[in-house]
Amino acid sequence: MLLLCSLVKNKQMASKRPRTWKYWVEVFLRLVLLGFQGALFCIILYRIVPVPITPLMIMRGFPFEKTWVPFSEINPFVVKAAITAEDPKFNDHYGFDFAAIKESIEKSIDKGKKPKGRSTISQQTTKNLFFTPRRSWIRKGLEVPLTLCVETFWTKRRIIEVYLNIIEMGDKIYGIEAAGQTYFKKKGSKLSKAEAVAIVICFPNPIKRHPNKLSNTLRKKQATIQRWMIGFEPAPTWWWE
Give domain status of residue 197, yes or no.
yes
Residue 13 scores a pLDDT above 60: no
| Cβ atoms of residues 39 and 55 within 8 Å | no
Give domain status of residue 20, yes or no.
no
Give domain status of residue 201, yes or no.
yes
| Cβ atoms of residues 104 and 97 within 8 Å | no
Q: Which residue has the higher pLDDT, 23 or 202?
A: 202
Query: What residues form DSSP beta bridges with 12?
Result: none
Give domain status of residue 2, yes or no.
no
Structural domain of 228: 53-235
| pLDDT number for residue 133 | 85
Please give the single-letter amino acid code of residue 240: W
* C-alpha–C-alpha distance, residues 214 and 179, integer Å: 14
| Nearest of 241, 91, 57 to residue 160 by alpha carbon | 91
Average pLDDT over residues 158-177: 96
Give domain status of residue 99, yes or no.
yes
For residue 195, count other CB atoms closer than 10 A to its CB: 23
Give domain status of residue 231, yes or no.
yes
Give domain status of residue 35, yes or no.
no
Average pLDDT over residues 50-71: 95
**CA triple 123-167-188, angle to 5 deg:** 130
| Cβ atoms of residues 88 and 234 within 8 Å | yes
Give domain status of residue 19, yes or no.
no
Query: Per the structure, how many domains does the chain have?
Result: 1
Residue 58: CB partners within 8 Å, gap ≥ 6?
none
For residue 219, count other CB atoms closer than 10 A to its CB: 13
Q: Which residue has the higher pLDDT, 17 or 180?
A: 180
| pLDDT number for residue 21 | 79
CATH number, domain of 175, equals 1.10.3810.10
pTM score: 0.85
Report the chain's mean pLDDT, rounded to a whole number.
Answer: 86
Write out pLDDT tens, residues 72-102. 999 999 999 999 999 999 998 888 888 877 7
Average pLDDT over residues 66-75: 94
Write out pLDDT tens, residues 30-50. 888 898 899 999 999 999 999
Cis peptide before 63 (omega within 30 of 0): yes
Residue 63 scores a pLDDT above 80: yes
